[in-house]
Structure 1
Amino acid sequence: MKFLRIQLVLCLFAFLSVQCKEVSTPKPRGYFRINFPEHEYDTLQHGFPYSFEYPEYTKIAKDRSPSAEAYWINIEYPEYRGKIHLSYKSVDNNLREILEDSRRLAYKHSIKADAIGEKLFEAPEKKVYGILYDIKGDAASSVQFFLTDSVRNFLRGSLYFNVIPNKDSLAPVVDFVKEDIYHLMETFEWKSLSDN
């Protein structure tokens, strides 16, 4: 009888240990959900040889880097630790060199990029022409672009984040900022400084 009880207890223990085992399934690695504000814009107007609409949730700051020139500014996204660096140059029979320099700076990211797409931009009624470089992968800059009137003015833009590049975690923010860049390009106009 004692032997039967021991066997019964052991069987019950074995049954319960098998029943209590959790079946675990691997879960994919995830990232925090990011809530974005509505796209609303203000107009940059005074003191520059250009104007465009920029997002209300950003901050416009003068570029304070040692190499900064006149009319260089940053559109800062403090919540996402990102900046669109805008650098302006006047064209003086050197458009070819400026264009090649801009292209070289965009393709400098090809070492880490999976692909670089080019999208042509034209607004002939405003004399605004350019290219947007869509840089895929873990490159330091995800988007670069330039705008020019082909005669006197040139503006280059580049998007950078102050984080380690990770295409998966940055993708929603890059897509959000890319909409702002498209809007900037579509609302962009050249001005003479006497218009200010």
Structure 2
Amino acid sequence: MEPVKYSFILAFILLITSCGQADYSPKPRGYFRINFPEKSYHQIPNGCPFQFEIPDYASYNDEGINQQHPCWKNIDFPAFNARLHLSYFPISKESTLAQLTEDARTFAFKHSTKATAIDQSKISIPEHKVHGLQYIIGGNTASNYQFYLTDSSKHYLRGALYFNEKPQLDSIQPVLEFIKADIKQLIHSLEWK
């Protein structure tokens, strides 16, 4: 019986010493680390009356676009599950600049039911004859960034950035800021043909 008595005492001692005062606190919720690629750009060749630069990690395509509008293009960011929709219109009697800019405003403000804020700011690059507005839409909206560009006489280009997932601004904010820098490069490198 001696060995059983000693093993019972040893088990009791281990049980008491193993229940020390540990500090167990809940860990904060974390998000996956996002590794952003190095920024480098290339010029897009196309048959449209405009040209600009896009990042090397994006693709330029027109699949699924209406054939009546051959200069409606998409810029895909596959690593970020995002797409920038571009719509080009020549300014004419049927599509006046006033109508087109009002359409851009309407599209941006359609998000006002979910938006916490919609900030507008002017775009002006006189050396390339590029003028327009950008809309930064706060909150959990389908599109958080939209813009239009024009030379005020012949050309009009509208862009809207969408993520292919349920909108959660706190989750996409770092990616949104990263892609907005690429859109700024597109805007500043835009030239009308």
- The TM tier, using the shorter chain, reads 0.7 to 0.9
Q: Determine the structure 2 residue equivalent to 1:85.
A: 85
Q: CA deviation at 1:14?
A: 8.7
Where does the alignment leave 5 or more consecutive residues of structure 1 unmatched?
1-7, 192-196
Seq. identity, % = 42
Is it true that 1:136 corresponds to 2:103 in the alignment? no
Superposed, which structure 2 residues align to 1:1-196 within 5 Å?
A: 16=17, 18-19=19-20, 21-66=21-66, 69-93=69-93, 94-191=96-193
Distance 1:61 1:75 in 2: 6
- Deviates most, 94-103 or 108-117: 108-117
Q: Is the contact made by 1:60 and 1:76 (CA closer than 8 Å) also made in structure 2?
A: yes
Q: CA deviation at 1:151?
A: 1.0
The Cα offsets for residues 163-182 of structure 1, whole Å up to 9 and x where unpaired, read as 11111111111011000001
In structure 2, relative to structure 1, the CA distance for the partners of 1:63 and 1:131 (3 Å cut) is farther
The Cα offsets for residues 23-77 of structure 1, whole Å up to 9 and x where unpaired, read as 2222221110011111100111331100111111111101414586120110111
Where does the alignment leave 5 or more consecutive residues of structure 2 unmatched?
1-8
Aligned pair count? 182
SS at match of 1:132: strand
CA RMSD of aligned residues (A): 2.1
Distance 2:68 2:29 in 1: 41
Distance 2:17 2:60 in 1: 65
Distance 1:131 1:73 in 2: 19
Q: CA deviation at 1:16?
A: 3.6
Distance 2:111 2:27 in 1: 33
In the superposition, the TM-score normalised over structure 1's length comes to 0.85
